[in-house]
Structure 1
Amino acid sequence: MKETVESILATPNSSQKNVMIVDDNNYYRSMRYEYHQLAAKFNTGYLQIYMDTRLELPCESWENSLTIDSADLNNPSMMSKIWVRIQEAISNPVSTIKRLEEKKLVAEQSKLCNNHNVVHNIDKALRKQISQYIREHKEKNSARVLAAQLNDIRQSVMEDAKRGIIVPPADILKADESIDMPKLETWVTTIFLQRCSSQHGHDLVILE
């Protein structure tokens, strides 16, 4: 059966779209997965219609399963429902879905990497400090001028962090390699205040 299906899929027909119904036992998920892989290989859609309790219950997202019980068989709208699902499968080939899932996974991994990136979190902590100082001093000073001065300090700290001129304490990394943000923010606050103090006498408007 599988060889026959693969042979048909390997013969492209650009003039029309066809629906291939595989009427086989496929009791186990692993058996059904072989056809899912064929759908991915030949960039076509995949849909399961689950009707028998003897089959291994579909539970994986890739199975794209439509469950039908005996009562549904007497429902005149069931064929329309099945056809809608078939059209959705045709419009969303397995390979396309896989690429989207892979992109999502890469994005999630990239986000996780950024969250664990010390320099990235230093920048977040600095921006938090800047927002706090502007809120505390905006009534006495121009918020725009103040933000520009503080941003210069932020950039100088970031540049030194990237070049390794300043190095955060080693204990900001937890055993699971995640970042202890309270410790990092405490360290960043100290560095930030030191840089602010060094600007005293150079028209840093937040210092009184």
Structure 2
Amino acid sequence: MSHWRLYRHELLLYLEHFLQNFIKGCHYSPPPNRTETTWKRFACSLKEQELIYPRTGTEDSASCQYLIDFIPLRPIYFILDDNFYYRSMRYEVYQLARQYTLGFCQLFLDCQADVCLERNSRRKQPLPEETIHAMVQKMEVPNPEKYAWEQNSLVLKTTECSVEDNLQVLDLLSTALENPVKPLEENTEVKEMDRAICAASVLHQADQAVRRAVSQTMKTAKDNNLTPKEMKSLADELNMLKVEFLEDLRHRENEKNNQLNINVTSLFSQQADGIVKKYLSEK
């Protein structure tokens, strides 16, 4: 989970880097602090769409610059193909569109779990079934009535595909292109910044509480004479639980306007105790 979150953020940084150069009318150079493999895939995608062209013959050079097609013959759409199961993940893209006054829309493909599992079984490298079930539980459907920024959204059933669906998608894209997101007014920006600072403080406290819970759980396991190998395996599992727990907490925090109504330490400890009991039961 953590790996994909970092990967998604990196792609958004590359996209913003392209937008900055496009708006300024600059040559397009590789961004600093990039992951070379990811960057090459991103640049290759832009080249395939004929949005950028190598300026020199040293296309594989780290210092290679590209020429940008500043007057494309067609509208430019950036399609971000990802699960984006949490609303806060999609909101990051919306913020980027708002910052640069771009159009924004969401296409949500509604698919039942049994259909997903059947399609997944036909893949060359199918995902574990528990991953599919986890996605179903975490998926947050666009809710324009509650979140105004999601108003330009379309939900389609994926068991069928009709000409009408295609027309709806085209209409969605046209609406986004014709109605770019307006930048925030200054006072709204300040309020958002205050909320972000508050959220960071709450999550920091949660992180500290979870770390203490992990430490206490490891002490309990050691007192029950687990072997060094078992202790290492337990530590790995608890660390993975901690990362996923805090990630879920972060998104839950975003959705509840920074008001946590749960006992973080108690909830995490319950999950950690379940892992420890698995090891103790083998004694």
Which TM-score bucket, shorter chain as reference? 0.3 to 0.5
TM-score by length of 2: 0.32
